[in-house]
Amino acid sequence: MTTRRWLLPVIVVLTLFSLPLLLLGMAVMLTYPSLPSLEVLTDYHPKVPLRIYSAEGTLLGEFGEERRALVKIADVPDAMKNAILAAEDDRFYQHGGVDYMGVMRAALSNFTAGGTRQGASTITMQVARNFFLSKEKTFTRKFNEMLLAFKIEHYLSKNDIFQLYINQIYLGQRSYGFAAASQIYFGKPLSQISIAEAAMLAGLPKAPSSYNPVVNPKRAKLRQMYVLRRMHELHFINDEQFKFAQNEPLVTKHGNQEFSVKSDYLTEMVRQSVYQKYQDATYTEGFKVYTTIRQQDQIAAYQAVRRGVLEYDRRHGYRGPEGYADLQQGNSEEALEEALQDSSDNDDLLPAVVLSESPALIQAYCKGGERVTISGEALRFAQRALSDKVALNQRIVVGSIIRVQKNEHGVWQISQLPQVESAFVSGNPLDGAIYALVGGFDFNHNQFNHITQAWRQPGSSFKPFIYSAALEKGFTPATIINDAPLTFGSDQTGSEPWQPKNYDGKYAGPMRMREALIHSKNMVSIRILQSITPRYAQDYITKFGLDAEKHPPYLTMALGAGSVTPLQMLTGYSVFANGGFRTTPYFIQRIEDAQGRVLSKTIPVAANEGAEQVIDVRNAYTMVSMMQDVVKHGTAIRAMQLGRQDLAGKTGTTSDSIDAWFCGFQPTVVGIAWMGFDQPRSLGDKETGGGAALPIWISYMEKTLKNVPQAEYSMPDNMAAVRINESGHRDENGARVEYFYQENIPGGQAAPAPVEIGKPADSVKDQLL
């Protein structure tokens, strides 16, 4: 009787205890078969963006919905793996997908808090959620998450699961996976990050927005410190590493700084080219494009353009602050950051708010948190703006939004965003490979690519094409041509009367053609074009890749009044540099798929290897010789500071100094530099191609040719070097040596008359010396 009395309560108690287990078992039996297939994990093919690389393999840029870089677990550094484990799941390699101790801790926390405030997600559970489930905090979702975790653990190894997590997790800034985040936040591959950087990245999965080191550096730092402490507690790092990592300053990349080589204009050209071929697949299939861009060349070109533009800008004075922020409500860091939120970054030109000012000193808060003091020589550029004698909108006062940058000595100085634009492109004259391309001062500010889209007047940089045409009509570098004033009536121009002038307003009278190019004499160029006729010249320039319709057959063509792009000028000057062959510029070497299979490859047609020879090699040699003298003795003499004898080129300055050019080369590389305003206006009365554009070219060539041996141009067959006198006569005792086609070697006649207006080309032979 006693036994029966206790039996019923025991059965009831056992039932109460077993019923939840039975219900749980039934739930598992009902739910498990309906769990999604793991095929998406075992056959992992995420959206991978288009990636663009330099010739050496340096990442230049990427385009895609998701910024992702796949990495194998074996290639993930231990510091990164340990940081993730410390931050997210230190028992990952011990549990079976669910950490029961963590679940109990979370359940207790949620019970006392009266809701689902804390989770206990392991790395495996996070993989399940990221691939299959929503992020809502409900018991149903958590239950399914746990079941999926068991299923994943059953089918995949721990390393496979960890690899999926490392590649799939969202980490802010559109980055998915730690390899992409490393590039975006620190501008370096995952293999190169430090322990401190790894800890910063490992802190992101919990709340990518809140712990974003770019947007919330203070909160990100607190999270990083927590991860480092956990790594230390778990003995992943020792005391010395812990202390060093805590004190290591982290420099995160802002805006488009995550790529170490600035090449936005070029990468956009690549994107457009790939999209034309592959359409929307461009952004998801993981295509890898290897360009012809050489890393150091691109860096040198970018720095040269920035330096050249800023030097020009400083020559023309400070225009005043960009704006004004009302600091009456206080100057807390939050208020200052809010005041600067609409001021975009521009590389080293940082936006800042003036906190205090006097004629001798300015203190300012820079976007990002740094406070700077500017005084002495660093204030000179904007000294006038610190006076009460200037207009209010040009005056620097407390609250003014200005730009600051460090000079070459590391001293902060006032600067400003330039209004002028500039561009530079360089390439291999032998096969057309583009080495560097900078389409403007700042891509984020102005996406207009001046290398390919800007049709500008070339000015005197066009003259070599006219001179080359003249050589084919019997002219020689010794031909005497009159540098004297010219006047054309409306009946000759078809419109307004025209009275061209030399740049300096001076005229030298009869002079040899070589001297005329050296000193860029406009009157001589016009007389040459008169003689060979504009129609002939218009047709001839197409040999260099120029468009005939952009250069109407009028005498103004002699002064470069037509339209060219810098890329066309690269093509044209390459013909001179390579001995007369026309090569086609290209910037894509090959395109690979995500597995590294080559989808397409550019096979250039090189000089002497199939490229069309468009001008006589003797013509090219003669033009190179004359353009070498432009550098050695003429308008580009500033380039002689490079200490080389193998440079050649031509400056270009258009009417009213609206465009400034320098087009020059050495046998291994051609470079084209341009400067001007997008809405054409004068650069300034004293600005020329030699003063505004040439320094950009010099800056680039100084680095690019640093270890390149000096080259010599070999005189082709059927040419002769002949001594001549100042009048261009053949003279065995002459002080000068000139180069002639064999059939044009001059005799020792009396000095010829200069070429006159309207003199037909057929009569030029009577003037050869």
Q: Are strands 588-592 and 598-601 parallel, antiparallel or unpaired?
A: antiparallel
Q: Which of 182, 460, 525, 625 is catalytic?
A: 460
Judge residue 611's burial from the number of C-beta atoms within 10 Å of its C-beta, 0-12 exposed, 13-18 middle, 19 or more buried: buried
Closest CA relative to residue 600, chosen from 294, 289, 292, 280? 289
Q: What is the DSSP string of 601-633?
A: E----BTTBB-EE-S-HHHHHHHHHHHHHHHHH
The secondary structure of the chain in percent helix, strand, coil, rounded to multiples of 5, reads 45, 15, 40
Sheet holding 669-676, edge to edge: 434-438, 421-427, 669-676, 659-666, 648-653
Distance CA 195, CA 186 (A): 13
Distance CA 347, CA 453 (A): 24
Q: Are strands 669-676 and 421-427 parallel, antiparallel or unpaired?
A: antiparallel
Judge residue 138's burial from the number of C-beta atoms within 10 Å of its C-beta, 0-12 exposed, 13-18 middle, 19 or more buried: exposed
The separation between CA 415 and the C-alpha centre of its own chain, rounded to angstroms, equals 21
Q: Which of 62, 88, 421, 687 is catalytic?
A: 88
763 catalytic, yes or no?
no
Judge residue 750's burial from the number of C-beta atoms within 10 Å of its C-beta, 0-12 exposed, 13-18 middle, 19 or more buried: exposed
Residue 10 to residues 7, 18, 19, 341, 728: CA-CA distances in angstroms?
5, 12, 14, 70, 126
DSSP conformation class of 195: H
Q: List b or e across 15-45, with b for residues whose CB sees 16 or more CB atoms inside 10 angstroms.
A: eeeeeeeeeeeeeeeeeeeeeeebeebeeee
Distance CA 351, CA 651 (A): 35
- Does the CA dihedral 589-669-543-535 come out positive or negative? positive
- Does the CA dihedral 34-39-44-48 come out positive or negative? negative
- Does the CA dihedral 731-733-738-743 come out positive or negative? positive
The residue to which tokens 């739910």 are assigned: 31
460 catalytic, yes or no?
yes
Residue 704 to residues 261, 594, 667: CA-CA distances in angstroms?
15, 33, 13
Q: Are 215 and 203 in contact (CB under 8 A)?
A: no
Q: Are 675 and 735 in contact (CB under 8 A)?
A: no
Judge residue 713's burial from the number of C-beta atoms within 10 Å of its C-beta, 0-12 exposed, 13-18 middle, 19 or more buried: middle
Distance CA 263, CA 265 (A): 6
Q: Are strands 350-358 and 400-406 parallel, antiparallel or unpaired?
A: antiparallel
The separation between CA 669 and the C-alpha centre of its own chain, rounded to angstroms, equals 19
DSSP conformation class of 192: G
Q: What is the DSSP string of 113-165?
A: HTS-------HHHHHHHHHH------HHHHHHHHHHHHHHHHHS-HHHHHHHH
Distance CA 382, CA 388 (A): 13
Active site amino acids: 88, 460
